[in-house]
Amino acid sequence: MKVHLKTMGCQMNVLDSEILRSLLASSGMEMTDDAHAADVLLYNTCSVREQAENKVHSHLGRACGKKADGRGVIIGVLGCMAQRLGPELVKRHRGVDIVAGPGQLGRLVELIQLVADGGGPQIAMDPPRPEIKTDDKIEFFDHKRDPNRCHLPGQAYVRIMRGCDKFCAYCIVPYVRGPERSRPADDIIEEVRRLVDAGVTQVTLLGQTVNSYRSGGVGLADLMERLDGLAGLKRIRFVTSYPGDFDHAIFQAMRSLPKVCEYLHIPAQSGSDNMLRAMGRRYSRGEYDDLIAVARQTVPGIAIVGDFIVGFPGEAEEDHAASADLIRQSGYKNSFIFKYSPRPGTTGAKRLADDIPEDVKRRRNRELLAVQQEVSLADNRAMIGQTAEILVEGPSPRADKQPNSQNQLVGRTRTDHIVVFDGAENLAGQYADVKITNATALTLFGELNE
Ligand code: SAH
Ligand code: SF4
Ligand code: F3S
């Protein structure tokens, strides 16, 4: 059977899809990039905003429409949206055969087989939160991974936690990904060792609130210290950090452990205390500012990345101005800015009317982006003239292309700055020293040091 798997959403989904590819391939199925040639069409989905779900609905509408013409493809919806909507997906799109929540992906081969054998639609949901035990063996699915299969040459995501217990008022993640559970440190180290043996040199440790990692007395800083000792590994990153209860030992680890990159993705969501309170974020603007100050003092050259939501219920112009001020003050390398999208079942959607008009959300989004662009441009320009170590990803996508260039490559610095430069394609997965010669707000351009 030929399987086409389309991935939407965050790094967790990218990782889940990598593991699924290993699992499907080891059961004799063939992966294909061509959706038209596939016998099985799988969508690994995201529920974080309505727009992300709408995209899946339109894919499903089209795929099920074709199926009505007589092609017997098997259609599966996986991940967060599968968990949120469950049987509703089968009702809305006649033609969907499989619905599998994020904790059920290990059963996918069995589910495909059941459908192929005429068993009808298969719905496999994760149990509701109180029934999921915090000592569940979350690592079993990760054990199915083929260490030779990576999302980029030499780079791998590694799950160290699942779920989230924070319940920010706007966020669907705690409902679809279940409670926070950490994976045993020995198990993580073993997985990283296998990846390094297969040629991986950069690992990104994944968790929704990755700084809360704790297993058997081992916290994130201790875990990174142990990983830092692995010969062959060159870079360690971790995402995403939650600004409440941040353990300063993590900054010390970033400073003293050579492999831990100077990169911190730490979403503020808003620069206004009123909004932080309404969002149920458990820190104030002042505490966030202090945290960023300590990060900058402790870790020289650190790059900080933020997320913001504009148009959360009740957001006044002065709250919005406070977010713009935070972007300026924090000197983010970049930030991800989103328009608030009410998610059914979250406390925000249940208790607060979505009272900021769409055109105001759009304007605020544009304004924050413009401020961030200025900050990013200044940050990028400051790097002109420096030489940076780049981990090469591969050929640069067309959008980055400069005129008259033949072999443009793209890669990232330790601080996750994107650098475009000319070089041979076989550098993908390798490290190169590149002198930065030019910069836009999004991209650095450079020349390979010979
Ligand atoms: N675990 C990460 C975030 C996961 S969701 C963390 O806690 O930082 C990724 C980003 O999507 C969030 O940081 C937030 O900025 C945005 N987001 C989440 N829910 C949203 C919603 N309902 N509407 C708009 N943006 C949202
Ligand atoms: Fe969502 Fe908040 Fe958890 Fe992040 S910390 S995943 S924003 S509930
Ligand atoms: Fe989306 Fe699920 Fe990630 S809702 S952001 S794919 S955890």
Q: Give me the CATH number covering residue 402.
A: 2.40.50.140
Q: Which residue has the tokens 């968990």?
A: 83
Q: Which ligand is nearest to the CA of 283?
A: 2
What does DSSP assign to residue 326? H
| Rounded average pLDDT over 162-184 | 96
> Does 294 share its domain with 276?
yes
Q: Are the C-beta atoms of 415 and 302 separated by less than 8 Å?
A: yes
**Of ligand 1's atoms, which has the minimum distance to the CA of residue 208?**
1
**Amino acid (1-letter code) at residue 299:** V
Q: What is the pLDDT of residue 443?
A: 96
DSSP line for 240-299: ---STT--THHHHHHHH-TTB-SEEE---B-S-HHHHHHHT-SS-HHHHHHHHHHHHHHS
Phi, psi (deg, nearest 5) at residue 372? -60, -40
pLDDT tens per residue, range 51-101 = 999 999 999 999 998 887 666 899 999 999 999 999 999 999 999 999 999
> Does 110 share its domain with 230?
no
Query: Could you tell me the distance, in angstroms and rounded to a whole number, from the CA of residue 12 to the centre of ligand 3?
Result: 7
Q: Which position has the higher pLDDT, 201 or 72?
A: 201
> Does 237 share its domain with 292?
no
> Does 28 share its domain with 96?
yes
> Does 140 share its domain with 251?
yes
Q: Confidence band (pLDDT; 50, 70, 90) for 403? A: low
**How far is it, in rounded angstroms, from Cα 98 to Cα 95?**
9
> Does 108 share its domain with 145?
no
> Does 394 share its domain with 413?
yes
Residue 96 burial (10 A CB sphere; 0-12, 13-18, 19+): buried
Domain of 421, in residue numbers: 387-448
Q: Which residue has the tokens 């709250």?
A: 319
Of 222, 246, 261, which closes a domain? 261
pLDDT tens per residue, range 276-302 = 999 999 999 999 999 999 999 999 999
**Of ligand 2's atoms, which has the minimum distance to the CA of residue 208?**
6
Phi-psi region of 92 (alpha: psi -120 to 50; beta: other; left: phi over 0): alpha
Q: What is the pLDDT of residue 245?
A: 86
Peptide bond into 240 cis (omega under 30): yes
**How far is it, in rounded angstroms, from Cα 346 to Cα 335?**
24
Query: Could you tell me the distance, in angstroms and rounded to a whole number, from the CA of residue 65 to the centre of ligand 3?
Result: 27
Q: What is the pLDDT of residue 399?
A: 47
**How far is it, in rounded angstroms, from Cα 247 to Cα 244?**
9
pLDDT tens per residue, range 21-37 = 999 999 999 999 999 99
| Rounded average pLDDT over 107-126 | 96
Q: What is the pLDDT of residue 110?
A: 97
Q: Is 167 in the pocket of ligand 2 (CB under 6 A)?
A: yes
Q: Are the C-beta atoms of 53 and 43 separated by less than 8 Å?
A: no
CATH of the domain at 210: 3.30.750.210
Q: What is the pLDDT of residue 70?
A: 64
Of 95, 126, 157, which closes a domain? 126
Report which protein residue has its CA nearest ligand 1's atom 1. Answer: 208
**Tokens found for residue 93:** 């799109």
CATH of the domain at 285: 3.30.750.200
Phi, psi (deg, nearest 5) at residue 340? -55, 135
Q: Are the C-beta atoms of 427 and 409 separated by less than 8 Å?
A: yes
| Rounded average pLDDT over 130-142 | 82
Q: Which position has the higher pLDDT, 68 or 219?
A: 219
Q: Is the pLDDT of residue 398 over 90?
A: no
> Does 233 share its domain with 327?
no
pTM: 0.97
Q: Is the pLDDT of residue 435 over 50?
A: yes
Q: Is the pLDDT of residue 328 over 90?
A: yes
Of 382, 397, 432, which closes a domain? 382
> CA separation (Å) from 121 to 60, 79, 115, 116, 366?
15, 16, 7, 10, 43
> Does 6 share its domain with 116?
yes
> Does 330 share its domain with 392?
no
Q: Is the pLDDT of residue 450 over 80?
A: no
> Does 362 share its domain with 413?
no
Lowest mean pLDDT among 16-30, 121-135, 291-305, 351-365: 121-135
Query: Mean of the per-residue pLDDT values for the chain?
Result: 95
Q: Is 336 in the pocket of ligand 2 (CB under 6 A)?
A: no
Q: Are the C-beta atoms of 358 and 332 separated by less than 8 Å?
A: no
Q: Confidence band (pLDDT; 50, 70, 90) for 409? A: very high
Q: Is 177 in the pocket of ligand 3 (CB under 6 A)?
A: yes
Q: Nearest 5°: CA angle at 224, between 432 and 428? A: 20
Residue 426 CB neighbour total at 10 angstroms: 8
Query: Could you tell me the distance, in angstroms and rounded to a whole number, from the CA of residue 9 to the centre of ligand 3?
Result: 5
Q: What is the pLDDT of residue 316?
A: 98
Q: What is the pLDDT of residue 397?
A: 84
Report which protein residue has its CA nearest ligand 2's atom 5. Answer: 166
Those residues whose C-beta lies under 8 Å from the C-beta of residue 343, and which sit 6 or more positions away, are: 47, 48, 49, 50, 170, 171, 172, 349
> Does 51 share its domain with 107?
yes
Q: What is the pLDDT of residue 304?
A: 98
Counting ligand 1 atoms within 8 A of each CB, the residue from 8, 171, 276, 281 with the most, and so the one to mutate, is 171
% pLDDT > 90, the chain: 92
The total of structural domains in the chain comes to 4
Q: Is the pLDDT of residue 233 over 70?
A: yes
Q: Is 343 in the pocket of ligand 3 (CB under 6 A)?
A: no
Q: Is the pLDDT of residue 400 over 70?
A: no
| Rounded average pLDDT over 91-120 | 96
Report which protein residue has its CA nearest ligand 3's atom 7. Answer: 173
Q: Are the C-beta atoms of 393 and 411 separated by less than 8 Å?
A: yes
Of 393, 450, 396, give the one whose Cα is nearest residue 155: 393
